[in-house]
Amino acid sequence: MAGEGLSVGAVAPDFTLPDANKAPVALSSFRGRQPVLLVFYPFAFSSVCTGELCQLRDELAAFVDAGVQVLAISTDTSQSLKAWGTEQGFQFPLLSDFWPHGEVAKAYDVFFDKAGMALRGTFLVDVDGVIRFAEVNGPGQARDQVAWQRAVTALVLSRS
């Protein structure tokens, strides 16, 4: 499997990936403006990923209210992400790390080479591009999103 993911305190590697509409989204475009929650997941349309991202969709207001941009990343194609995002009503960008295959997941040390997919890596990146929360779960292990919300709250409080 992949490694343990990047550590808290590391500088988040910049990237530019196409969203579901093939528009480029760069992590660096948020630097100096707002924190970003990066949510890597294995595959669109899979049951655990759908459950996790639907929970994120349903609780998105907590992140938006805190000024955090959510970016969800998988190795699926943009076309697949568009169909899935439309079906599920996701209101945050779904980014395609399809080609070069898994390069961003590799940069964050969450690429599962044997299966050609990202693990469930979650990284909260502050406005300076530093990782303030990091978590990596295996393919079948759903994440506890309460930890993300605590990390966002702590980040917001530290900026106050």
Query: Which is nearest to 105 in space by CA: 34, 22, 40?
Result: 40
For residue 132 the two structure tokens come to 């303030």
- Find all residues with CB under 8 Å of 51, minimum gap 6, and list them: 142
Please state whether 89 falls in left (phi above 0), alpha (psi between -120 and 50) or beta. Answer: left
Note if 49 is an active site residue.
yes
The answer for residues whose C-beta is within 8 angstroms of residue 93's C-beta and 6 or more apart is 19, 20, 25, 70, 71, 72
Distance, in Å, from the CA atom of 146 to the CA atom of 57, rounded to the nearest integer, reads: 14
Q: Of the residues 2, 27, 49, 105, which is catalytic?
A: 49
**Using CA atoms, how far apart are residues 108 and 32, in angstroms rounded to an integer?**
21
Which positions are catalytic? 49
